[in-house]
Amino acid sequence: MRMEGEQLHEQFDTGLKKIKHEIKNRLVLQGLFGTITSDDDPHDISRGARVEIHAKGKAVGISFDRKQIEGCCLRVAGAVLSSIITMVEELSVATGSHTVDR
């Protein structure tokens, strides 16, 4: 039973890391540097986590449930990715940043 719990916790941690990485990549594309925080409880992952982005004095955030986060352990996609895109665009508009050409 303990092994199963550790595996679920690992999926949650990996998913949360991938979500934060995806946000960071999208911030860079918008020419933004920001801080990404989460309020996950390392001892109780059942409630998921709230992720916030802070850049240029502005902040946006969203809560993801445990299932959404664990679903991102391989790659960020679907509703989670859509939410990330919306948050970064909202922050970009609020701070007056523009997309960086590559």
At 4, is the pLDDT very low, low, confident or very high (cuts 50, 70, 90)?
low
Look at residues 57, 63, 56 and name the one whose alpha carbon lies nearest to residue 98: 56
Question: How many structural domains are present in the chain?
Answer: 1
Q: Decide if 52 is inside a domain.
A: yes
Residue 100 lies in a domain: no
Residue 98 has pLDDT above 80, yes or no: no
Look at the chain and count its residues.
102
The whole domain housing 75 covers 2-95
- The pLDDT score that the predictor gives to residue 1 is 44
Q: What is the mean pLDDT of residues 71-81?
A: 97
Q: Extract the tokens encoding 44.
A: 């109780």
Question: What's the pTM value of the predicted model, to 2 decimals?
Answer: 0.87
With 60 as the cut, is the pLDDT of residue 3 above it? no
State the Cα–Cα distance between residues 33 and 31, nearest whole angstrom: 7
pLDDT in tens, 16-71: 999 999 999 999 999 998 899 998 887 788 889 999 999 989 999 999 999 999 99
CA-based nearest residue to 31, from 88, 78, 86: 88
Residue 102 lies in a domain: no
Q: The tokens of 56 are what?
A: 């240029």
